[in-house]
Structure 1
Amino acid sequence: MSDKDNTPGPGRNAARDGEAAEELAARFLAARGLSILQRNFRCRGGEVDLVCRDGQALVFVEVRLRRSAGYGGAGASITSAKQRRIVLAAEHYLALRGGSDCDCRFDCILLDGLSTAAIEWIPDAFAAP
């Protein structure tokens, strides 16, 4: 991806834009030393966009691309209900991999467009209830 702002517009495919946003986020995090372990982990009731390792910690990352700030921007779309679904998926991931005793955190990557200049990374954005 380039630094050019390729913000989705009319006629763009939302699923393709979401995949591009996740790829951009993965590259961004990898460049900052995180290892990407899995993409799009799904279970009944939840999904995690990226599962990463940062040192000894597992990091569950939600990637949000917003086409317009008219609805509050990318950060506003991560509601408490969305957070619960991410935590549920993280719990399933840990249960499947026997990692329930490791350090974990929940990060958010917010994008207002498909460029590295449009990335806002919020480490430890929320905690599991």
Structure 2
Amino acid sequence: MTRQIRGSTNYHAGHAAEDIVALKYARAGQPTLARRWRGQSGEIDLVAQDGDAIVFIEVKKSRTHAQAAERLSARQLNRIYGASVEFLETQPKGQLTDMRIDLALVDGAGRVDVIENISMAA
């Protein structure tokens, strides 16, 4: 498989994984506010509303949930945190807005496992 084909396949698989995760949150009453929101610090895959709180969701897809979880680096988490701070600046309450960062793991069968409120120690 050429690099271009592999890149296209991964791009579309990533979009499909984000769609699955967005649907899971929507069914739980947490609608999507933004997809692939980009700030100066980086990109956030999904942003959802949970009552008065904002949920920043990083989606990772791999054959297994464990492999997907291994794909989140500390550097990436720092970028997500920075972008989430930028996003909060667009909200009426700014930095006083309740928020959390979730990690949504999607396996090869499309099953989703969400780890809520991941921390910088992840």
TM over 0.5: yes
Aligned position for 1:89: 83
Please report the RMSD computed on the Cα atoms of aligned residues, expressed in angstroms: 2.2
Q: TM-score, normalised by structure 2?
A: 0.83
Q: 2:16 aligns with which of 20, 30, 37?
A: 20
Alignment of 1:101-112 (within 5 A): 101-112=96-107
State the shift of 1:21 in Å.
Answer: 0.4
Q: Is the 1:42–1:48 contact (alpha carbons within 8 Å) kept by the matching residues of 2?
A: yes
Distance (whole Å) between structure 2 residues aligned to residue 60 and residue 68 of structure 1:
22
Shift of the 27–92 alpha-carbon distance from structure 1 to 2, 3 Å rule, reads: same
Aligned position for 1:7: none
Alignment of 1:73-88 (within 5 A): 73-88=67-82
Q: Is the 2:33–2:48 contact (alpha carbons within 8 Å) kept by the matching residues of 1?
A: yes
State the shift of 1:76 in Å.
Answer: 1.2
State the number of aligned residues. Answer: 115
Share of identical aligned residues, percent? Answer: 32
Q: TM-score, normalised by structure 1?
A: 0.79
Distance (whole Å) between structure 2 residues aligned to residue 29 and residue 113 of structure 1:
19
- Structure 1: 5+ residue runs without aligned partners? 1-9
SS of the residue corresponding to residue 118 of structure 2 reads strand
Deviations 1:95-115 (A, max 9, x none): 233421111100011011252
- Whose relative contact order is higher, 1 or 2, with alpha carbons under 8 Å and at least 6 apart? 1
Alignment of 1:43-122 (within 5 A): 43-67=39-63, 73-98=67-92, 99-115=94-110, 118-122=111-115
Structure with the larger helix share = 2
- Structure 2: 5+ residue runs without aligned partners? none
